[in-house]
Structure 1
Amino acid sequence: MKVEPSQNNRIVQKQAENTAAIERQQRAQANDRAERSTNRDQASLSESARLLAKARLSLQELPDMRTERVAALREQVQAGTYQVPVEKLASLFLKGLRS
Protein backbone atom coordinates (compact mmCIF):
# COMPACT_ATOMS: atom_id res chain seq x y z
CA MET A 1 0.00 0.00 0.00
CA LYS A 2 1.35 3.34 -0.99
CA VAL A 3 0.86 6.26 1.41
CA GLU A 4 0.49 9.55 -0.34
CA PRO A 5 2.17 12.63 1.19
CA SER A 6 -1.21 14.34 1.49
CA GLN A 7 -2.52 11.44 3.62
CA ASN A 8 0.60 11.60 5.77
CA ASN A 9 0.07 15.33 6.30
CA ARG A 10 -3.54 14.74 7.37
CA ILE A 11 -2.44 12.11 9.90
CA VAL A 12 0.20 14.43 11.35
CA GLN A 13 -2.29 17.31 11.42
CA LYS A 14 -4.88 15.14 13.18
CA GLN A 15 -2.32 14.05 15.79
CA ALA A 16 -1.37 17.69 16.37
CA GLU A 17 -5.05 18.63 16.80
CA ASN A 18 -5.57 15.77 19.27
CA THR A 19 -2.47 16.77 21.22
CA ALA A 20 -3.63 20.41 21.34
CA ALA A 21 -7.10 19.34 22.51
CA ILE A 22 -5.62 17.21 25.28
CA GLU A 23 -3.37 20.08 26.39
CA ARG A 24 -6.35 22.47 26.46
CA GLN A 25 -8.32 19.99 28.54
CA GLN A 26 -5.42 19.53 30.98
CA ARG A 27 -5.01 23.31 31.34
CA ALA A 28 -8.74 23.69 31.98
CA GLN A 29 -8.64 20.98 34.65
CA ALA A 30 -5.61 22.61 36.28
CA ASN A 31 -7.39 25.97 36.28
CA ASP A 32 -10.48 24.38 37.84
CA ARG A 33 -8.39 22.80 40.59
CA ALA A 34 -6.59 26.08 41.26
CA GLU A 35 -9.86 27.97 41.33
CA ARG A 36 -11.44 25.50 43.74
CA SER A 37 -8.45 25.67 46.06
CA THR A 38 -8.55 29.48 46.24
CA ASN A 39 -12.31 29.77 46.75
CA ARG A 40 -13.14 30.15 50.42
CA ASP A 41 -16.43 30.64 52.18
CA GLN A 42 -16.91 34.19 53.30
CA ALA A 43 -19.30 35.88 55.66
CA SER A 44 -19.80 39.55 56.26
CA LEU A 45 -21.82 41.40 58.83
CA SER A 46 -24.04 44.34 58.06
CA GLU A 47 -23.39 47.62 59.81
CA SER A 48 -26.44 47.12 62.04
CA ALA A 49 -25.18 43.67 63.07
CA ARG A 50 -21.82 45.18 63.99
CA LEU A 51 -23.52 47.87 66.07
CA LEU A 52 -25.68 45.28 67.80
CA ALA A 53 -22.63 43.16 68.65
CA LYS A 54 -20.85 46.24 69.99
CA ALA A 55 -23.89 47.18 72.11
CA ARG A 56 -24.11 43.66 73.53
CA LEU A 57 -20.45 43.73 74.43
CA SER A 58 -20.83 47.12 76.12
CA LEU A 59 -23.86 45.87 78.03
CA GLN A 60 -21.97 42.83 79.27
CA GLU A 61 -19.21 45.06 80.58
CA LEU A 62 -21.63 47.08 82.73
CA PRO A 63 -21.79 46.02 86.36
CA ASP A 64 -25.08 44.54 87.50
CA MET A 65 -26.08 47.26 89.98
CA ARG A 66 -29.41 45.87 91.10
CA THR A 67 -28.39 42.30 91.87
CA GLU A 68 -28.90 42.78 95.59
CA ARG A 69 -32.30 44.42 95.11
CA VAL A 70 -33.49 41.64 92.79
CA ALA A 71 -32.27 38.98 95.23
CA ALA A 72 -34.10 40.66 98.12
CA LEU A 73 -37.34 40.95 96.13
CA ARG A 74 -37.06 37.32 95.02
CA GLU A 75 -36.71 36.21 98.64
CA GLN A 76 -39.75 38.27 99.66
CA VAL A 77 -41.88 36.82 96.84
CA GLN A 78 -40.83 33.27 97.66
CA ALA A 79 -41.49 33.82 101.35
CA GLY A 80 -44.88 35.38 100.60
CA THR A 81 -43.99 38.62 102.39
CA TYR A 82 -43.74 40.88 99.32
CA GLN A 83 -46.22 43.74 99.41
CA VAL A 84 -47.05 45.43 96.10
CA PRO A 85 -46.60 49.21 96.51
CA VAL A 86 -50.09 50.01 95.18
CA GLU A 87 -49.83 53.79 95.45
CA LYS A 88 -46.46 53.90 93.70
CA LEU A 89 -47.72 51.53 91.01
CA ALA A 90 -50.84 53.64 90.42
CA SER A 91 -48.77 56.81 90.26
CA LEU A 92 -46.42 55.34 87.69
CA PHE A 93 -49.36 53.97 85.71
CA LEU A 94 -51.07 57.37 85.57
CA LYS A 95 -47.80 59.05 84.67
CA GLY A 96 -47.46 56.65 81.75
CA LEU A 97 -50.99 57.40 80.56
CA ARG A 98 -50.34 61.15 80.59
CA SER A 99 -47.20 60.83 78.47
Structure 2
Amino acid sequence: MKKATNIALATAVTSLVALAGTALTTSNVLAAEKEKCYGVAKAGKNDCATKTTSCAGSSKTDSQKDAFLMVPKGLCDRLTGGSIQSKNP
Protein backbone atom coordinates (compact mmCIF):
# COMPACT_ATOMS: atom_id res chain seq x y z
CA MET A 1 0.00 0.00 0.00
CA LYS A 2 2.83 2.40 0.80
CA LYS A 3 4.39 1.86 -2.66
CA ALA A 4 1.12 2.90 -4.40
CA THR A 5 0.93 6.06 -2.28
CA ASN A 6 4.52 6.98 -3.18
CA ILE A 7 3.84 6.47 -6.89
CA ALA A 8 0.70 8.62 -6.71
CA LEU A 9 2.57 11.36 -4.86
CA ALA A 10 5.46 11.30 -7.34
CA THR A 11 3.02 11.51 -10.26
CA ALA A 12 1.23 14.48 -8.69
CA VAL A 13 4.48 16.37 -8.07
CA THR A 14 5.71 15.67 -11.61
CA SER A 15 2.43 16.95 -13.04
CA LEU A 16 2.64 20.17 -11.02
CA VAL A 17 6.19 20.81 -12.18
CA ALA A 18 5.19 20.23 -15.81
CA LEU A 19 2.17 22.52 -15.44
CA ALA A 20 4.31 25.29 -13.94
CA GLY A 21 6.77 25.04 -16.83
CA THR A 22 3.94 25.26 -19.36
CA ALA A 23 2.47 28.30 -17.61
CA LEU A 24 5.83 30.12 -17.69
CA THR A 25 6.32 29.38 -21.38
CA THR A 26 2.80 30.53 -22.24
CA SER A 27 3.11 33.77 -20.28
CA ASN A 28 6.35 34.62 -22.10
CA VAL A 29 4.64 34.14 -25.47
CA LEU A 30 1.64 36.24 -24.42
CA ALA A 31 3.90 39.01 -23.16
CA ALA A 32 5.68 39.30 -26.52
CA GLU A 33 5.30 42.60 -28.35
CA LYS A 34 2.33 42.70 -30.70
CA GLU A 35 1.46 44.77 -33.75
CA LYS A 36 -1.60 45.33 -35.90
CA CYS A 37 -1.53 43.37 -39.15
CA TYR A 38 -3.96 44.69 -41.75
CA GLY A 39 -5.34 42.75 -44.70
CA VAL A 40 -5.05 39.20 -43.32
CA ALA A 41 -8.24 38.69 -41.28
CA LYS A 42 -10.98 36.38 -42.50
CA ALA A 43 -14.49 37.85 -42.75
CA GLY A 44 -15.90 38.29 -39.25
CA LYS A 45 -12.58 37.52 -37.51
CA ASN A 46 -10.98 40.97 -37.16
CA ASP A 47 -9.75 42.10 -33.74
CA CYS A 48 -11.25 45.60 -33.55
CA ALA A 49 -13.46 48.14 -35.26
CA THR A 50 -12.51 49.46 -38.70
CA LYS A 51 -13.48 52.60 -40.58
CA THR A 52 -16.29 50.67 -42.26
CA THR A 53 -17.39 48.37 -39.39
CA SER A 54 -18.35 49.10 -35.80
CA CYS A 55 -16.72 46.37 -33.70
CA ALA A 56 -14.45 43.34 -33.52
CA GLY A 57 -15.61 40.39 -35.60
CA SER A 58 -17.54 42.55 -38.03
CA SER A 59 -15.35 42.71 -41.12
CA LYS A 60 -17.40 41.91 -44.19
CA THR A 61 -14.84 40.26 -46.50
CA ASP A 62 -11.71 38.15 -46.27
CA SER A 63 -8.51 40.23 -46.37
CA GLN A 64 -10.39 43.51 -45.87
CA LYS A 65 -7.69 46.18 -46.15
CA ASP A 66 -8.74 48.15 -43.04
CA ALA A 67 -9.40 45.12 -40.78
CA PHE A 68 -6.56 43.89 -38.61
CA LEU A 69 -5.42 41.08 -36.33
CA MET A 70 -2.95 41.51 -33.48
CA VAL A 71 0.09 39.34 -34.23
CA PRO A 72 3.58 38.98 -32.71
CA LYS A 73 5.86 41.78 -33.85
CA GLY A 74 7.61 40.92 -37.13
CA LEU A 75 5.12 38.26 -38.24
CA CYS A 76 2.94 40.56 -40.36
CA ASP A 77 5.70 41.16 -42.91
CA ARG A 78 5.86 37.41 -43.53
CA LEU A 79 2.12 36.95 -44.15
CA THR A 80 0.77 37.17 -47.69
CA GLY A 81 -1.17 40.41 -48.04
CA GLY A 82 -0.13 41.56 -44.56
CA SER A 83 0.67 45.21 -43.90
CA ILE A 84 1.35 47.12 -40.70
CA GLN A 85 -0.41 50.14 -42.22
CA SER A 86 -4.13 50.30 -42.99
CA LYS A 87 -5.11 50.57 -46.63
CA ASN A 88 -8.56 52.11 -46.59
CA PRO A 89 -11.02 50.44 -48.96
User: Do both share a fold (TM > 0.5)?
Assistant: no
Bin of the TM-score, shorter chain as denominator length: 0.3 to 0.5
Looking at both structures, which has the greater relative contact order when contacts are Cα pairs under 8 Å and sequence separation is at least 6?
2
Q: Which has more radius of gyration? A: 1
- Larger helix proportion of the pair: 1
- Larger strand proportion of the pair: 2
